[in-house]
Amino acid sequence: MLKSGACFGEVSLLIDTKRMATCRAMDYCELYALTRADLEELLDRFPENRFSVAASALAPLLRSDTVCPALRGISEEDAERLARRMAQQPVEIIDGAVLCDSRTGNPPVSAFLIKSGQVAAEGPDETPEPVLDMEDLRCVGLVELLAGVAPLHTVRE
């Protein structure tokens, strides 16, 4: 249960994805609200804060068993370290680009947390099947990266 001083909805707002939970008022509440437009305006005016805001949004996602089950049990401190590194290296992928390629037999060199867009996995018959999008936020390639093994599917945007 959230109480006075708690913040909610910030991760969804910061990374532009659907919320992971529904919050319902249990009694009369007074809230302060920040809209996406207001946040974007602030980040445009103070771009030096964009990195720390991104890192703050990523850290709780890395600790989520739903989003990154491979990192189950990671400490808050380690999640924050990883989040800062990821926030420093945002990646934009063009349509059709391969993120993880099972055909090479090599382990991936990166794992990805999908902020927006959607990716598809191709099985052995190379038929694309959309499996992940921003409505189903997950890490891609993390298990294979940690285990040092080739991915089972080819994943492309």
Tens of pLDDT along 20-47?
677 888 888 888 888 888 888 988 898 8
pTM comes to 0.60
Mean pLDDT of the chain: 76
Question: SS3 sequence, the chain?
Answer: CCCCCCCCCHHHHHHCCCCCCCCCCCCCCCCCCCCHHHHHHHHHHCHHHHHHHHHHHHHHHHCCCCCCHHHCCCCHHHHHHHHHHHHHCCCCCCCCCEEECCCCCCCCCCCEECCCCEEEEECCCCCEEEEEEHHHCCEECHHHHHHCCCCCCEEEC
Per-residue pLDDT of the chain (157 residues; tens, 9 = 90+): 777 877 777 777 766 666 667 788 888 888 888 888 888 898 889 888 888 888 887 888 888 887 788 888 989 999 888 888 888 887 787 888 887 777 788 877 777 777 777 777 776 666 655 554 444 556 667 666 666 667 766 666 6
Residue with tokens 């420093």: 88
